[in-house]
A and B are shown apart, each in its own frame.
Chain A
Amino acid sequence: MTALTDPKSNQHHLVMGNEAFARGALEAGVAVVAGYPGTPSSEIVESLANVSKERNLYVEWSTNEKVAMEVAAAGSFAKLRSLCVLKQNGVNVASDFFLHLAGSGTRGGMLVLTCEDPGALSSVNEGDSRHFSRMLEIPLLEPGDFQEAKDITKWGFELSEALKCPVMIRSVTRLSHASGNITFGDLPETDHKAEFKHDGFILDPDTGPMISAPVAYKHGLQQQKVQQAIKMFETSPFNTYTGPGNPELLLITSSACNLYSREAIKLLGVQHRVGLLKLGTTWPLPPKLLEKHLRMANKVLIVEEVIPFLEESVKILAMELAEEIGIKKFFGKRDGTIPSTNELNPDIVIGALCGILGMDYAGLTAEYSEKANTHLFLGAPAREGTFCAGCPHRASFWNISQALKLDNNEGFVCGDIGCYSMAVLPAGYSTLKTLHAMGSGTGVASGFGKLGQFGMDQPVFSVCGDSTFYHAVLPALVNAVHHKSDITLVVLDNSGTAMTGFQPHPGTEKDARGEEALQMNIESICKSIGATVRVADPFDFDETQKTIFELMGMKGGVKVLVLRQICALSPEKKGIRWFDVVVHESQCLGENCGCNRLCTRVFKCPGLVWDTEKKVSKIDDAICVGCGVCSSVCPVGAIENMEVK
């Protein structure tokens, strides 16, 4: 991939969508960048952190998204261009501040860039935060390809500065994590001067205090900004039309769906029948532009992902314009032409177009499809997600689930967000019984821990990762301690925000820019607020399970167990083999052992497989990373950790 700060403009660069956003921010002269890691957004802050010295930027991974937005807003208040990056859940976390920020307004151009995950490829929800733009009454931009990802970002800063309000940009996985060719523009000078003016008249947007009061006045002001945005959107180059003057069908779309729609129209060869109106400014919609295009056709198809946000906005305008443009026949999510869940793809758009235009299309012939699906069914066993070989979470959940089973009191674990969320699956022995938002495991546990009043006496556990601990677990933990809720929090400390690529957090030594930071310690924090704290290595089964029983035996109040073992993929550990693990074929009793294949049937590390010919377990050398944990699982000691040769 091309270096993000390549000064050569007007050249053909292959970049990831997230790098295109980052380059757009650099071309706009961004100075302050803050975010919290979350797939598919993380590479934007990461790539800007990597060039922060070269480009004189302040970049941080904040404790959570609300703090990130506040940090970015400070930059804007001091007349700098600032960027806050998050994923769809993050917008919810930041939304309280976001609402007030729309009220107070901004000074230096400020973008809130949300990268969302239709289909929940790497999420536990497919939330669509576009509606925040309508709720907060701020402009929403959605780029329709990689070049626009860069260009719209650059323009977004100008728009924000012109309106003095935050501007929201929405991306999706198939833009953020896809790659395409773009042409770079010039990079500006990097001398930024920050000053916060606050002594002016209370209503002066440039020199007064930054507040959302007087509320009715500021709210009215925000609505005037929306009207101004509409005027600018009427002529925006990010809204384009391709197709005949009088199409049979007008297809209105935005974001990655633009690429799917183009593909569908081309594959069907209906360029002469379907007009494509691609919108980059999706809220507020520009009515004159919509009127011009809605006039063209009697049938209108709206193609977008998740909720029918664009569809509803278009329908409201069409209703208001009905006298001039006539009554239209609409197709979209509300009539079921386009599915309302999961991500879209070219085939879904093809299906919708065929239905409306009365065409037949089969990308896969029925004959091929039947044959291939038979082979798939018989010859490609399903592959469910699992923890990596050497992952400390497998060991942690083994310990927790074994202890809860032995205790036999219907104990359960409230889950949280990270790689360890996979412990809802057999990969983590189906240990997690609730799973919601960041920090929610401990909040929910805090509630369960107070239900003794109503006769509930099941042991209550929660888990969280080290980054999640700082993000949103702390307030829940303080609540549990204060109310003497009877719970055990297990912190799965793998020393970094592992799932998204080892970003730093308050518990790490360095910050996003690689500079020394003040490192906090989870056990000290927990002790200082009054919890009983233990620390163990999850790879040590005896010690860990003994400690879990000790904590379960203490009735009343919050217990915290920090299970510390670094992630197997972390830069510090990856490629370092602790042991050459071997299965002694002569000692493994195979199917005759009373263990009923405990190692491969229950423990299930991908590095330890079953030899179907010899009927014993064996190590897969291409996968095993040599953590040696499985040697503790075998009841007859057939798995041995040898010194690395």
Chain B
Amino acid sequence: MTTELPKLKADPYNLIITGVGGQGNVTASRILGNMLSQMGYYITIGETFGASQRGGSVMSHLRVSAEETVSPIIAKGQGHMVIAMEPTEAIRVLADYGNMEIKVICNTRPIHPMGVIAGEQAYPSQAEIEERVNDISGQAWFINATDEALADMKNPVYGNIMLLGAVAATGELPISRDDFEASISETMTADKVALNLKAFDRGLEMLQ
């Protein structure tokens, strides 16, 4: 392992990407994991897919260490950052892995659970969600990534890349636009790289 690796704010640094099955959770964790792995960090990612992802809550635990491979499941209360692709999922993750120092980046576009669609349960307002997340986190950012992606780029999936851009803007992890570009250039065509960079930049701006 190289010795020049930037020191992490915590080792392992525990990040959770959460959302609803089908939102692109796994892809987002791979992109972020690959960026950090190529820099030389040990990455451990725990995730589930298959039946568990159909319409249900999904989580990827992404853990970054300069020293070793760790457990693919984070222990309770030990999260450092939550990236929520769906706003109420942020609250669900905080209840298990949160603490009063944790950072949260939260997409504001809701996906209504079946119980809400059926009228059996209520979905909280944006203001209520923000209040609840703020009450149980150290710092939280709310960005309308999905709607921006739908309006600007005609595909909600780019909202996920905006969220990754927002992660870079927080300075919590040693990642930059250049690392992102280098990482995606290995697997994507030039036109896709350009679109992804546009989304990443938009995410960076949204937090500044």
Contact = CB atoms under 8 A, between A and B. Distances in A.
A426 B114 contact: yes
Contact of B150 (A381, A427, A622): A622
Name the residue among B51, B70, B95, B132 with the largest chain A CB count within 10 angstroms: B51
B95 A373 contact: yes
Interface string A591-614: 000000100111010101110100
Contact of B76 (A363, A612, A623): A363
A259 B46 CA distance: 12
Interface in A368-393: 368-369, 371-373, 375-376, 378-388
B121 A382 contact: yes
A388 B56 CA distance: 10
Interface residues of A, number: 74
A483 interface: no
> Interface residues of A: mostly helix, strand, loop or mixed?
mixed
Interface in A28-84: 39-40
Interface string A3-45: 0000000001110000000000000000000000001100000
Contacts, number: 216
A178 B44 contact: yes
Contacts of A600: 117-119
A174 B59 CA distance: 13
A260 B61 CA distance: 14
Interface stretch (B105-113, B171-179, B194-202): B105-113
A621 B37 CA distance: 35
A375 B132 contact: yes
Name the residue among A173, A345, A372 with the largest chain B CB count within 10 angstroms: A372
A548 to B, nearest CB: 25
B123 A376 contact: no
A639 to B, nearest CB: 15
Contacts of B136: 368, 371-372, 375
Contacts of B92: 376, 380
Contacts of A345: 71, 73, 75
A538 to B, nearest CB: 18
B183 to A, nearest CB: 11
B123 to A, nearest CB: 6
A622 B69 contact: no
A499 B50 contact: yes
A364 B123 contact: no
A135 B114 CA distance: 45
B117 A604 contact: yes
A214 interface: no
A110 to B, nearest CB: 27
A346 interface: yes
9 contacts: A175-B72, A181-B69, A346-B75, A364-B99, A381-B121, A383-B20, A383-B55, A383-B113, A499-B51
Given A122-B52, A609-B112, 7 more contacts: A121-B50, A121-B51, A181-B37, A369-B95, A375-B95, A379-B129, A426-B114
Instruction: List the 7 shortest-distance A-B pairs measured between CB atoms, nearest first.
Output: A122-B50, A39-B50, A178-B72, A386-B55, A364-B77, A363-B77, A14-B37
